[in-house]
Structure 1
């Protein structure tokens, strides 16, 4: 549900404009004689077509004081909640000192009436809405500690109603699962049910297995994924990169890591990437750079790569080494088996 977004569309009445003048009525703080609190405020807002004076209460005045709103600022006041947003500094506001507002965000003076209806949008995930329902339950003394199926069902009903009334839009995301063969049969069953729902993200699975057992069963399947799940998927064809692509990838990786390779070192790493694995060749770059620096060179050369290969093995060399050692010690071999 974190991969499914909901774009909420709201129309709200707001007062928006450039502050022409502002007067905040203040009184001493009841507990701190060195501080003051806002009791109310009188301000004038203007747009390109209109100018209007407003008298606001203690809550809005406190926000104006906290935001340090001054003449020349462009602000927005929500007519329903009283929330104040400082949009920036008017481009046409006068400044007493040169460069006074250089750091501030400069905006245009709004057009239209001061009081207007604005359409606002913000995007949240279904998981965020689920968690908001749990927090609401805690405030009402309900001891909900996890997202239950009932909560999810209620949230889905609310979202469906908002979509039908065109107050919200569904934004399907992408759920990417690497090493998909590590999922067990129960996880695949859950994904199957999820993909049948109306609110379903785009599912992308990645694996490097051929035919292997499905975890939690004794059955083998391509990629360790059940056949009924595979039938729902489009399988992207991949292939081992040719030598010229391996060379280009290593070259790009070296530039990104700030490693300068000689032509001979790049040829050697390309050969390693083709004969062994591209990942092993790429992992040799950083250690080879360290060896080159210890040797007093800023350029990685073939001897530096060979020195690192003598220390760090790839998985094939590691298996061969282990087999050779086990042949020397039959007791250890029998114990490990």
Structure 2
């Protein structure tokens, strides 16, 4: 049986930490509706300072009977956690109770106001209150990757949470370290694990996959990898890696990934790199002669990991390298069913060099225009 992974989108919550990004309420609603249409099961809409900002969006989800489950964050180190849980109950949110676990965070006593010995009592009190209000509550362990391992395992052994959220808060873990961490936690308890990975060292997607392969059941992802500092694991990358490389199921409609990515670009004003995996303009663009001959000639797997249509993309061809592209024309001429003279072939090559990317349909039309 194919293993199903639960993905929680954190684009709105993490994206709010990017300087200059402000998302209109109407765009938030359209974004949530698009995620729901695509089959993303959960969205984190709460900001770290409480659930209050989530209320309107949660009501929108309920009013439109969307399937996507909204989640809020409730810090147990503040003095407002009871009213935040109460609001979550009123809005139909599940919550994850946030707590610092590493020494460097616990040193910030002015903000977190707790010692290592207070972690379990504070978490337990908040989770118990949430359960009394019939609010599903998980335990969200900030900076778990840098917490002393015995402290972390002692915490998870004593908790009675619905799930455990493991934060690699500043992206310091390597994939094999993430695997070891998840294995250690799973040996200490049986609570389902969700992993939240940051990309400060470019490891967010790899660490997410490592955690899921080691037995975590869910992961936080953000469209286009948005998030604080260097961002988070990219939804589109994690989905395609799980589906194509790991043999897992996500339930996400991959054919709309490019559509989703483009929407978030417009929503946030942040453009992707053209080289970005899955969503970048050039990730299905081909310029070397051999690549063009193979792909246009009917052997695309030679230089493509999967069909671009799987993510709603279209492959393109470029003819701008300082090489002779005559050999690259053969598959297109064969498909066109026409023969060009040497002079016409040169005209074709000159026109192809004048534009950076061409679809096969455009190339075939150009051939017929020149031939006629």
TM norm. shorter chain > 0.5? no
Q: More strand by proportion, 1 or 2?
A: 1
Q: More helix by proportion, 1 or 2?
A: 2
Which one has the largest radius of gyration? 1
